[in-house]
């Protein structure tokens, strides 16, 4: 085997191993990003649900106050 063929073989092996390792690392990185995206989505949904519950509580309080005000106007108490 000549020196040139040994160099070509070595370069080919190094490039092949580098390509395989690079693809493997990129796939691992992509999987981690996908997993983080799911976790971010779950956190966002939980925050949205909490915000909706808080908003619903505020609206319920406002409605109850309006109803009390209407009842007070319809049925004034003699004090």
- Averaged pLDDT of the chain: 93
DSSP code of residue 78: -
5-26 confidence digits (pLDDT tens) = 999 999 999 999 999 999 999 9
Is residue 51 in a domain? yes
- Angle CA 53–57–74, to nearest 5: 150
Measure the CA dihedral 45/50/54/57, to 10°: 100
Is residue 56 in a domain? yes
Instruction: Give this prediction's pTM.
Output: 0.54
Is residue 23 in a domain? no
In this structure, what token pair is assigned to residue 57?
Answer: 């509580």
Give pLDDT, residue 37.
95
Q: Please check the confidence at residue 79 and state whether its pLDDT lies above 60.
A: no
The CA–CA distances, whole Å, from 39 to 26, 32, 72 equal: 20, 11, 49
Per the document, the length of the chain is: 79
Domain that holds residue 55: 32-73
């Amino acid at each position: 085997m000549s020196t040139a063929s040994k160099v070509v073989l070595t370069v080919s092996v190094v490039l092949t191993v580098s390509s395989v390792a690079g693809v493997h690392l990129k796939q691992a990185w992509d999987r981690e990003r996908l997993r983080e995206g799911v976790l971010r989505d779950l956190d966002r949904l939980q925050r949205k649900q909490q915000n909706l519950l808080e908003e619903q509580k505020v609206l319920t309080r406002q409605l109850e106050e309006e109803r009390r005000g209407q009842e007070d106007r319809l049925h004034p108490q003699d004090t």
